[in-house]
Structure 1
Amino acid sequence: MRAEIPFFPPDLFADDRKVMLELLQEIGTAREQKFILGTRTADFEELLRDSLGAADVVACGSGTAALGLVLRAMGIGSGDEVVVPAFGCAPLASSVLEVGAKPVFADIDPHTMVVDPDDVERRITDRAKAIMPAHMFSIMADMPRLVELAAQHKLRLLEDSAVAQGAVLRGTPAGLWGNAGVFSFVQVKSFGMPGEGGAVVTGDPELGRTVRMLRNHGQNRRRFVYDIVGTNSRFDEIQAAFQTYRFAGFPARLERRAAIADYYTERFSRLNGRAIVPPPPGREGRCYYVYCLQVEKRDELRDHLASRGIGSHVYYPQPLPLQAGFAPHAPAGGRWPNAEYASRRILALPIYPHLSDSEVARIADAVCDFAREDGALR
């Protein structure tokens, strides 16, 4: 019986368990009994800030919270519009709605599955205040074009780079193309941790200062003195210490993900260009958080992989504006054909860094065997 290859591995942090237990003991028994926003959080923020060349990095409760904090810091609220992708995770729309603004859904590029700048431009009205692109799976959005659009229309630009930490496009890291970006440290992300957390990254010190107050009830330097109305989105000291420890290994983990993606893409280059479509090759603007195929017979391939003990995952089975929670905020009868097409076809393969070479080959073999049986192999 062959061992299963899960899509979400249960042992991401197994090698670091001893370190985590030591940090629990150290922080839990320290004299100061400081479990949030202490020196370890400050050190973690400084580490990220220096590695990115950012003006500020503000660690907060989650990637979702980070989006809302930035939107509030930008002064976006009732009556404003924010152009977001129609294809992606719920916070793209919910964070906008939570500040009282309206998400305006733009379609995606059919191959890369990131937001289409041409459709973004078509959706901009005089009520628009920001563009919020999302880097998807392994591919960064077309940030050079989106920077131009934001400047041309005098809009703020907020990158949802939650899945793209470590990606670099034309020498600029994900998160630093616009006014601000966000990262997510939830377990399965490229720099995930065993818990919930996120960060705002920005080249604007004033925007960073406002976010820093908002995450801590509006307090600045003095406790119980509230300069603005904020919320509770503070970062955990144990997680900050753990992530600081693990940061040195982050480049190697990114490289392993990229090497697996290179192998997949080379193996899948012989697949029929319509029935099974791999992502575009290359490493520019990539972090390979996940590796997604577009598959004409998606559910059949998923069942085929499962029969061989290989996990897979369907991301975003329906575009955001067609989901019950967000449809009331989208134009009646609206269509987003490329997002709808991707939702029917997308299937993600395992790509976490501690997959062995033999496991990676086994996954690729299974996909190619399916393609051969289906006549999709050239």
Structure 2
Amino acid sequence: MSTHVWDYLPEYEKEKDDILDAVGKVFASGRLVLGESVKGFEEEFAAYHGGGLCTGVDNGTNALKLALEALGVGPGDEVITVSNTAAPTVVAIVSTGATPVFVDVREEDFLIDPAGVEAAVTERTKVLLPVHLYGQCADMEPLLRIAERHGLKVLEDCAQAHGARHHGRPAGTMGDAAAFSFYPTKVLGAYGDGGAVLTSDAGTDAAMRQLRYYGMDRVYYVVRTPGHNARLDEVQAEILRRKLTRLDSYIEGRNAVARRYEEGLGDLAGPGGLRLPVTGAGNSHVYYVYVVRHPRRDAIVEALKAYDIHLNVSYPWPVHTMSGFAHLGWEAGSLPVTERLAGEVFSLPMYPSLPEAVQDRVIHALRDVLTAEGK
């Protein structure tokens, strides 16, 4: 049986009746766009995070883009972020006309290194955009202090961190705004695409609602400022409402898989060989992906194919090295930790309904390959 890093079908089999009921409810409601399901999800998602205001949008990339625009980012501005992220983080910045400025990440947890942030601030810097990567939060306290010193806004990229916490605070509640993705693979995933922006500021939320609906302000056809067509779909919103009630159980399931990997592989981990995920100080990890590291990554991933285990790499190409961003002028070697990680990291299968038998297959196969490789 072929093994991959993600599969939604086991979860769907368990939740099928509820998912199909959600679809039926929307179709029978008489309102297919910006109806009660979107409104209900926005309220419930905000409540899950302890309050605030939520605007549902069509995907996580637009959540970032519209949030940046709502925070006043535009041409000529700079946004500080990382290159060790999914490309949409940077696509969103560039699409506003702003320039992304990259800082390196920390060796131990792959998250933005606050030590490099202050030196990257210029008079054009408008926003700090930390990425809560792989399921845990960036080290927010020093970032927030830097932002306060320089009068900057902070936008959290929470696409991979639904339900994660940092010193007890939920991801998405520490900055001025936070962008979420509900792509199907996410910790809270839709059956299609979706996104949301969370904020405690009424002005930012009002701007978000205007931007997602062509720039119109309540009265149809009256555009106050050029916006976008970026509305969260009613069907996806209703599905997300149902799944939100199970989010904590999804996180528990992911942590159980992570513990099983730790127990099965921990004795093989060590300097110069396999390195397992490290949870940052004060963090609770939700393991969106379970990313391990090995200096002979490519040989290991290739060898596992003989066991019919096919793994992903998150991420093999740092954003600053991609041809689509060559105009930014970043040279190879400018972010050494990020570039080193790109040649060493790979992801083991991770989703809450991952059968224990499959986990064991992965553990045993990886142990065999590592033993053959001399660890």
Please classify the TM superposition score into its range, dividing by the shorter chain length.
over 0.9
Q: 1:37 corresponds to which letter in structure 2? A: L
How far off is 1:27 after superposition? 2.5
SS at match of 1:326: helix
How far off is 1:210 after superposition? 0.8
Residue 105 (structure 1) aligned with residue 107 (structure 2): no
State the partner residue of 2:278: 280
Residue 18 (structure 1) aligned with residue 25 (structure 2): no
1:192 and 1:25 map into 2 onto residues whose CA distance is 19
Report the RMSD for the aligned CA atoms in angstroms: 1.7
Deviations 1:116-172 (A, max 9, x none): 111122211121111101011133111111111111221110011111011011111
How far off is 1:354 after superposition? 0.7
**Range that drifts further, 283-292 or 202-211:** 283-292
1:55 and 1:145 map into 2 onto residues whose CA distance is 23
Which ranges of structure 2 fall in alignment gaps of 5 or more residues? none
Instruction: Map 1:44-83; keep pairs closer than 5 Å.
Output: 44-83=41-80
2:192 and 2:13 map into 1 onto residues whose CA distance is 14
How far off is 1:51 after superposition? 1.1
Assess, with a 3 A threshold, how the Cα gap between structure 1 residues 39 and 250 changes in structure 2: closer, same or farther: same
1:333 and 1:354 map into 2 onto residues whose CA distance is 40
2:275 and 2:301 map into 1 onto residues whose CA distance is 15
How far off is 1:18 after superposition? 3.1
1:148 and 1:335 map into 2 onto residues whose CA distance is 25
Residue 211 (structure 1) aligned with residue 212 (structure 2): no
Assess, with a 3 A threshold, how the Cα gap between structure 1 residues 139 and 23 changes in structure 2: closer, same or farther: closer
How far off is 1:315 after superposition? 1.5
% same residue: 31
Is the CA contact 1:315–1:347 (under 8 Å) kept in the aligned structure 2?
Answer: yes
Assess, with a 3 A threshold, how the Cα gap between structure 1 residues 228 and 15 changes in structure 2: closer, same or farther: same
Decide which of 7, 13, 19 is 1:9's aligned counterpart.
7
2:215 and 2:264 map into 1 onto residues whose CA distance is 52
Q: 1:120 corresponds to which letter in structure 2? A: V
State the partner residue of 1:154: 151
Residue 225 (structure 1) aligned with residue 252 (structure 2): no
Q: 2:275 corresponds to which letter in structure 1? A: V
Q: 2:299 corresponds to which letter in structure 1? A: E
State the partner residue of 1:321: 320
SS at match of 1:53: coil
How far off is 1:7 after superposition? 1.6
Is the CA contact 1:56–1:202 (under 8 Å) kept in the aligned structure 2?
Answer: yes
Is the CA contact 1:132–1:159 (under 8 Å) kept in the aligned structure 2?
Answer: yes
SS at match of 1:82: strand
1:68 and 1:238 map into 2 onto residues whose CA distance is 23
Is the CA contact 1:265–1:281 (under 8 Å) kept in the aligned structure 2?
Answer: no
State the partner residue of 1:247: 244
**TM-score w.r.t. length of structure 2:** 0.95
SS at match of 1:105: strand
Decide which of 160, 165, 169 is 2:166's aligned counterpart.
169
1:23 and 1:187 map into 2 onto residues whose CA distance is 16
Q: 2:276 corresponds to which letter in structure 1? A: P
Deviations 1:76-109 (A, max 9, x none): 1111110110211112211111111110011111
Instruction: Map 1:249-268; keep pairs closer than 5 Å.
Output: 249-268=246-265
How far off is 1:368 after superposition? 2.0
How far off is 1:70 after superposition? 0.8
2:333 and 2:304 map into 1 onto residues whose CA distance is 35
Assess, with a 3 A threshold, how the Cα gap between structure 1 residues 263 and 21 changes in structure 2: closer, same or farther: closer
